């Protein structure tokens, strides 16, 4: 083969790989990928920005129109005893070995648990607790995204979390949150494409500083967003990330988990560390990295592995993604490393629930993931 032929072959392989990556990120097809990449000189970030801006401009222009009702849709907390219908599930254990697939006889137990209500006699005690929501809001899916973004704001108003971890944000979504969720400080984990974000309740959590930690070998624009904050009289380090997606990216995902666990382990002893995000982890991958280090706990496991909080990615219950199979996985996780000394040390998990289980008026859910709500007792 001549040098020219080799060069052409290399270019074709590179561009085919870029198209595949574009499709995996945007959910589009190869023709759309090739069009946007070619128009942007085959530069991935430029192509993604062009795609998202074109796809989202109409959605949020309409959403912010003065002629349109922009009040948040009403959502309510779900009941524990709400019956769920049975349906058959396809066994995906050969495809996703660490994800739980259901048998035909199983029932959907992915129900939400109502957060502890603030009765008049316990308001002061509840105010001492730290609460958070972690949620992949699926900003890459632009269908009904305006109403879904309003749905997120409704859940924030309902649960009033102190800290919010968000994944799969895009810039128009962030601008929307800045207009609607004015009681929160918003920290962005990127400026282009899609990225993570932190929201901190201004009246209770003070932002000290923040940083973005790169994952050197990511192929999907992933990183770790870190913020040092103060809650009451306690210093916290809060972190969120969206680990590499898809079964074939296990090695990269485990590299990213190691980065997170190293930062949690090495944080100062007087600082409590909270991590939450869409980890895409399978339990076997956590085992392969040596498990969680001493002092770090998986909040779901710490609270007794409650079945109703197990599956955060559940195509059996969530119809936002039209797929010909049922997959139920615990992709979204929250980790805690309590401070060992100082004010508010030995923080402990108090409660966990899934949120976003109710359909909005558009007939879709806020996201294809359920959100996680957690509360913590600061300790002493």
Per-domain residue ranges of the chain: 3-63, 120-377
**Residue whose C-alpha is closest to residue 233's, from 359, 347, 100:** 347
Q: How much is the pLDDT for 117?
A: 41
Count of beta carbons in the 10 Å neighbourhood of residue 10: 10
Q: How much is the pLDDT for 83?
A: 31
Contact 195, 169 (CB under 8 A): yes
Active site (annotated) includes residue 278: yes
Q: How much is the pLDDT for 21?
A: 86
Q: Which of 38-42, 43-47, 142-146, 276-280 has the highest mean pLDDT?
A: 276-280
Q: How much is the pLDDT for 318?
A: 96
Segment 343-347 long-range contacts (CB within 8 Å, at least 24 positions apart): 343/232, 343/233, 343/234, 344/231, 344/232, 344/233, 344/234, 344/272, 344/378, 344/379, 344/380, 345/270, 345/272, 345/379, 345/380, 346/379, 346/380, 347/130, 347/234, 347/272, 347/376, 347/377, 347/378, 347/379
With a cut of 60, say whether residue 211 has pLDDT above it.
yes
Q: What's the rounded mean pLDDT across residues 46-63?
A: 62
* Mean pLDDT value across the chain: 82
φ, ψ at 279 (rounded to 5°): -85, -20
Contact 267, 234 (CB under 8 A): no
Contact 277, 241 (CB under 8 A): yes
Percent of the residues in the chain that have a pLDDT greater than 90, as a whole number = 60
Tell me the C-alpha distance between 203 and 162, whole Å: 9
Q: Tell me which residue has tokens 């129109």.
A: 65
Structural tokens at position 82:
């709400």
CATH (residue range 3-63): 1.10.8
Contact 332, 240 (CB under 8 A): no
The reply to whether domains 3-63 and 120-377 share a CATH topology is no
Q: How much is the pLDDT for 93?
A: 26
Terminal Cα-to-Cα distance of the chain (whole angstroms): 72
Strands (E), 141-271: 163-169, 184-188, 195-201, 205-214, 223-231, 234-242
Pairing, β 328-329 against β 195-201: unpaired
Pairing, β 348-355 against β 223-231: unpaired
Region label for 333, one of left (φ > 0), alpha (ψ between -120 and 50) or beta (otherwise): beta
- CATH 3.30.420.40, applies to 120-377: no
pLDDT band at 30 (very low <50, low <70, confident <90, very high): confident
With a cut of 70, say whether residue 236 has pLDDT above it.
yes
Percent of the residues in the chain that have a pLDDT greater than 70, as a whole number = 77
pLDDT band at 50 (very low <50, low <70, confident <90, very high): confident
Which residue of the set 138, 162, 278, 314 is catalytic? 278
Q: How much is the pLDDT for 23?
A: 85
With a cut of 70, say whether residue 88 has pLDDT above it.
no
């Amino acid at each position: 083969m001549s040098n020219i032929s080799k060069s052409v072959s290399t270019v074709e392989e590179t561009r085919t790989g870029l198209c595949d990556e574009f499709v995996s990120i945007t959910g589009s097809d190869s023709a759309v990928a090739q069009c946007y990449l070619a128009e942007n000189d085959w530069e991935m970030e430029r192509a993604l920005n062009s795609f998202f801006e074109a796809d989202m401009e109409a959605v949020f222009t309409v959403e912010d129109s003065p002629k349109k009702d922009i009040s948040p849709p009403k959502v309510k907390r779900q009941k524990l005893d709400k019956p769920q219908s049975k349906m058959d599930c396809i066994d995906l254990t050969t495809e996703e070995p660490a994800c739980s697939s259901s048998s035909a006889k199983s029932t959907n137990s992915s129900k939400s648990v109502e957060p502890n209500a603030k009765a008049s006699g316990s308001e002061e005690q509840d105010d001492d607790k730290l609460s958070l929501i972690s949620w992949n809001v699926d900003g890459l899916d632009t269908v009904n995204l305006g109403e879904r973004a309003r749905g997120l704001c409704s859940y924030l108003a309902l649960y009033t979390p102190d800290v919010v971890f968000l994944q799969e944000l895009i810039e128009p979504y962030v601008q929307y949150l800045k207009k609607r969720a004015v009681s929160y400080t918003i920290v962005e984990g990127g400026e282009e494409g899609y990225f993570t974000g932190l929201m901190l309740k201004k009246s209770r959590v003070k932002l000290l500083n923040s940083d973005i930690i790169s994952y050197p070998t990511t192929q999907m624009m992933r990183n770790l967003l870190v913020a040092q904050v103060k809650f009451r009289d306690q210093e916290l380090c809060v972190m969120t990330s969206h680990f590499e997606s898809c079964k074939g990216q296990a090695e990269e995902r485990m590299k990213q988990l190691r980065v997170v666990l190293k930062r949690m382990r090495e944080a100062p002893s007087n600082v409590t560390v909270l991590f939450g995000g869409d980890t895409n982890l399978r339990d076997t991958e956590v085992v392969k990295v040596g498990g969680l280090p001493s002092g770090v706990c998986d909040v779901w496991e710490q609270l007794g592995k409650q079945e109703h909080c197990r599956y955060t990615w559940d195509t059996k219950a969530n119809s936002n993604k039209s797929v010909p199979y049922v997959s139920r996985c615990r992709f979204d996780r929250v980790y805690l490393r309590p401070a060992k000394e100082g004010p508010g040390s030995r923080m402990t998990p108090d409660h966990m629930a899934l949120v976003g289980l109710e359909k909005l008026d558009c007939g879709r859910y806020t996201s294809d993931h359920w959100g996680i709500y957690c509360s913590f007792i600061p300790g002493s």
